[in-house]
Structure 1
Amino acid sequence: MCVLILHYHEIWLKGCNRNFFLQNLKRASKQALEGLHVKRTVWEDHRLLITFEDDNMAHHGIERLRKVPGVAYVAVAEQTNPDLDSIIDTGSRLMRTVEFHSFRVRARRSQKSLPFRSVDIGRQLGARIWTDATENGRKVKVDLSNAEATCYVDVTTSRALLYREKIPGMGGLPTGSAGKLTCLLSGGFDSAVAAYKVIKRGVRLSFVHFWGRAVEPGEGSSPVARKLVRTLTPYQGRSRFYLIPFDEIQREIVVAAPQDYRILLYRRMMLRIAERIAYREHSHGLVTGDSISQVASQTLKNMEAVGSVASLPIYRPVVGDDKQEILDLARHIGTYEISCEPFSDCCPMYLPKSPKIHSTAAELDNIEADLPIKDWVTKGLRAASKEVYEWRAGEVTLLKKHNHESSPPIRR
């Protein structure tokens, strides 16, 4: 019977509060493996060991656990008794099934009272693997730095685990261990990548999407944003998704404000509305996909001027990334193709020919002085709808859908 090994990541660095992070990781791993007929799950010597009623479920377990924040790597191992003869026999059998010209043995003992050392495993198992290959007419050599094949041996208190491959996990910290944030999610590449980066750090996100009237039929941004939320949900287990109709507020800004300040005023209104939702979600801040000078509204001065209306902190995980770095990560997490779909983003609507590049908070405050800001915030909140998605048994499902918020978000 094979065993699935889960090794955690930065939790190693934690001290007295390590158990808090481990409990979050255990909860997320249990949710990820639902429906795979897990026979037994046990923590043993700083690793999670999982056995299935059917060994064929192990590869499904790997794919799910790779999306759990906090997982350093997973591996499918053969288990045997923690004695030297059993380890050598199992390792020899494991390595006979793979072709290689160079190999190495990586052994670790959690139980130091055993009558052999890690170096003894490496030497004796390595000699056995070399002998097996030579007897079969294959020329192989030991290469400790850049081997084509590796035999990993983990010796715990009650067993020895042997495997050939470490499958990288997501890394980071377990979901929920860092608290909550609220992400302003467009349909583009940047905000989805920003969301992934903070989820990886143990944050649970809620999402807010502002949508406008589609320029062409079928090019609304809401379906694209909804797909992004569904793609990101497996990384955190559950997502709350707020949709705010914004085109009416935009039209009123167009009528009442100078042309070159429009997009900055749009963004300030979005922050105000998103912050009210963040308070309802008990979030500790807002997340945006801003990247320095990528567009006119994201110069340093404009980000400062726009962000000045928020009382909560604003986190910008991709602020120093160039576009290629963002696109590469979007491909990795599965959001790239979604963001490539045609849609009408509400921010460029009524975009001026020459938007303001270097504004100040004082300038924007003066423009907004005679505008019905509170009324617009209330209008956006009353028209908001909410959807709740959950990842269970390998599937993302819509749990709840509210067409309108029954009451405005609470204040702090």
Structure 2
Amino acid sequence: MIIVRYSEIGLKGSHARRMMENRLRGNIIQGLLRAGENATFRWERGRLFLDGYSNPETVMEVLSRTMGVKSLSEVTEMVFSSPSEIVIRATELYAGSLRGKKFAVRTRRAGGQNFTSINLNLLVGDALFPYSAGVDLEHPDLEVNIELRDNRAYFFNSSRPGPGGLPIGSEGKLVALVSGGIDSPVAAWMAMKRGSPLEFVFVSLAHPVDTVDFLSAMKRLVARWGHGYDPVIHIMDGSSIVAELAGRDDYSAPSVTFKRILYSVAARIAVSTGAYGIVTGESLGQVSSQTPENLMVINRGTDIPVYRPLAGMDKDEITDLARRIGTFPESSKGEFCSLFSRNSIMGVTVQQVDHDMAMFPFVDKLIASDTTINGSEIDHYTMGIPDIDLRGKDIELDPVVVDLRGHDKFDEWHYPGSVHARIGDVKELIDRFGKGRTFVFYCQKGLQSAYAASEARKMGAVAYYMDTEGLKKTLRSRKPDPS
């Protein structure tokens, strides 16, 4: 038998509590079915008891990733009529495990027993002491936990934490802007933990490279933590947006404008799907587009609430949580803002962004490219993405090597013979050198170069992308480190 505990649900009024308990039970059932398991359920004042399953480890894994579950334990159950019966059963269960170990006994009660938790701790402790190396209440080698509920006792020696929060579906739906990076999947997870089912919006800037990374992050998030619902995922082609913002010099604040575009798209989807707000992954001050001043400008023109679960967290805290919940990306290709602006702009005005937004039908372009799938269709959709290897692994056949970094980085170090260019210069480069040449684009982390390689492929050229460190490794494999 497994006992499941929850906390916040028990604080709700009777009507809300029953609704959330039913939602939690339904989500657990769906999670178990996905894992090929089933169980019987019994509710009892703030506890859910599961029995009748075949593999306890599988069931506990599902429960530990179900929103609303505070903790869980595999337990041994007994019916008792006196404390002495509990003492006898505790001795049967734990005496053989205590040789050479120090222990502690901890009892919790709910119901009308005629003895106290302290009384039972002393009785069980006295019975187990001869089999042990002594008692240690601070750091025991073995902890004997006994939970009493009326005339039933439940024995366990460990608890596994769950995420806590509220069951998914117990709060209103939100729209989450998510990439394949570190921050936004964590923000989405935190909104899911508060009980909100999400629709996800992703704008691809370097298809298929960033789309595959995004879908990988989505699969981990949904499969591990989305028990109880099958989210809708919106995938949009943002290549025309990049070409417009990065290919012209008359945009005042392209990186901040791009964030406004994303908000506007998410707001339109939220209104059309009956969602109550937008979830984003900003952390105050982490990058220039996330200062309070610029966030205020980004918010203008969006009439729907914007939720930022990560606002007060620093990068280390976000990264640690991403690793813990399993959404940390295998590789990082950098942030979108590097596509549009090499210099930070701290004090963008509303007028500047309004001016930029009026220059091109950004939102309409993205909405027109919207492809929707369900979370359960991620594998099928991913299999349909052409398996085009854009990742450069070496420099061969005298390619045109293109450095997309800023002038300062280029002057500090660049690949010998490389051409310095902006991300909006891809067509000009192909016209200049010809489609018969192989192009290798590189940037600091890979996002800009992945976009450039993808666009060059669309124009009929053979193109690959690399990051700076990968390129330096290529050189080091041939000769001493050039740096």
Shorter-chain TM range is: 0.7 to 0.9
Confirm or deny that 1:236 pairs with 2:226: yes
With over 3 angstroms needed to count, the CA separation of the structure-2 counterparts of 1:37 and 1:332, relative to structure 1, is: closer
Which of structures 1 and 2 has the larger relative contact order (alpha carbons within 8 angstroms, sep 6+)? 1
Residue of structure 1 in register with 2:455 after alignment? none
Do the aligned partners of 1:9 and 1:173 also contact (CA within 8 Å) in 2? Answer: no
How much identity, in percent, do the aligned residues show?
26
Match of 1:348, SS state, is: helix
Residue of structure 2 in register with 1:136 after alignment? none
Residue of structure 1 in register with 2:22 after alignment? 23
| 1:9 partner letter | S
Deviations 1:26-45 (CA, angstroms, capped at 9, x unpaired):
11122122255435211123
Aligned equivalents of 2:175, 2:143: Cα separation in 1: 43
Report the alpha carbon displacement of residue 199 of structure 1 after superposing the two structures with TM: 1.1
Report the alpha carbon displacement of residue 140 of structure 1 after superposing the two structures with TM: 1.0
Confirm or deny that 1:306 pairs with 2:298: yes
Which range is displaced more, 143-152 or 300-309? 143-152
Report the alpha carbon displacement of residue 195 of structure 1 after superposing the two structures with TM: 1.0
Residue of structure 2 in register with 1:80 after alignment? 78
Residue of structure 1 in register with 2:211 after alignment? 222
Residue of structure 2 in register with 1:170 after alignment? 163
Residue of structure 1 in register with 2:262 after alignment? 270
Residue of structure 2 in register with 1:331 after alignment? 323
Aligned equivalents of 2:176, 2:187: Cα separation in 1: 9
Aligned equivalents of 1:327, 1:204: Cα separation in 2: 23
Out of 48, 56, 59, the position equivalent to 2:57 is 59
Confirm or deny that 1:379 pairs with 2:374: no
| 2:235 partner letter | L
Residue of structure 1 in register with 2:6 after alignment? 8
Do the aligned partners of 1:260 and 1:356 also contact (CA within 8 Å) in 2? Answer: no
Which range is displaced more, 34-43 or 172-181? 34-43
Aligned equivalents of 2:382, 2:348: Cα separation in 1: 41
Aligned equivalents of 2:308, 2:178: Cα separation in 1: 12
| 1:103 partner letter | F
Structure 2 gaps of 5+ residues are 386-483
Match of 1:161, SS state, is: strand
Do the aligned partners of 1:184 and 1:274 also contact (CA within 8 Å) in 2? Answer: yes
Report the alpha carbon displacement of residue 25 of structure 1 after superposing the two structures with TM: 1.2
Residue of structure 1 in register with 2:440 after alignment? none
Residue of structure 2 in register with 1:129 after alignment? 128
Report the alpha carbon displacement of residue 50 of structure 1 after superposing the two structures with TM: 0.8
Equivalent residue runs for 1:8-407 within 5 Å: 8-16=6-14, 17-34=16-33, 36-54=36-54, 57-83=55-81, 84-99=83-98, 101-112=101-112, 114-133=113-132, 139-141=133-135, 143-213=136-206, 220-233=209-222, 234-237=224-227, 238-254=230-246, 258-336=250-328, 339-343=329-333, 346-349=336-339, 351-369=340-358, 371-372=359-360, 375-390=361-376
Do the aligned partners of 1:94 and 1:163 also contact (CA within 8 Å) in 2? Answer: no
Deviations 1:48-71 (CA, angstroms, capped at 9, x unpaired):
1111253xx111111110111111
With over 3 angstroms needed to count, the CA separation of the structure-2 counterparts of 1:147 and 1:308, relative to structure 1, is: same
Do the aligned partners of 1:206 and 1:240 also contact (CA within 8 Å) in 2? Answer: yes
Report the alpha carbon displacement of residue 249 of structure 1 after superposing the two structures with TM: 2.3
Aligned equivalents of 2:47, 2:85: Cα separation in 1: 21
Aligned equivalents of 1:399, 1:222: Cα separation in 2: 11
Between structures 1 and 2, the one with greater strand share: 1
Do the aligned partners of 1:79 and 1:160 also contact (CA within 8 Å) in 2? Answer: yes
Q: What is the number of equivalent residue pairs in this alignment? A: 378
With over 3 angstroms needed to count, the CA separation of the structure-2 counterparts of 1:357 and 1:29, relative to structure 1, is: same
Deviations 1:271-307 (CA, angstroms, capped at 9, x unpaired):
1112111223321111111112211211111111111
| 1:109 partner letter | R
Do the aligned partners of 1:390 and 1:399 also contact (CA within 8 Å) in 2? Answer: no
Structure 1 gaps of 5+ residues are 134-138, 404-412
Deviations 1:348-388 (CA, angstroms, capped at 9, x unpaired):
32x2332422112233223434x24xx43222112111110
Larger radius of gyration: 2
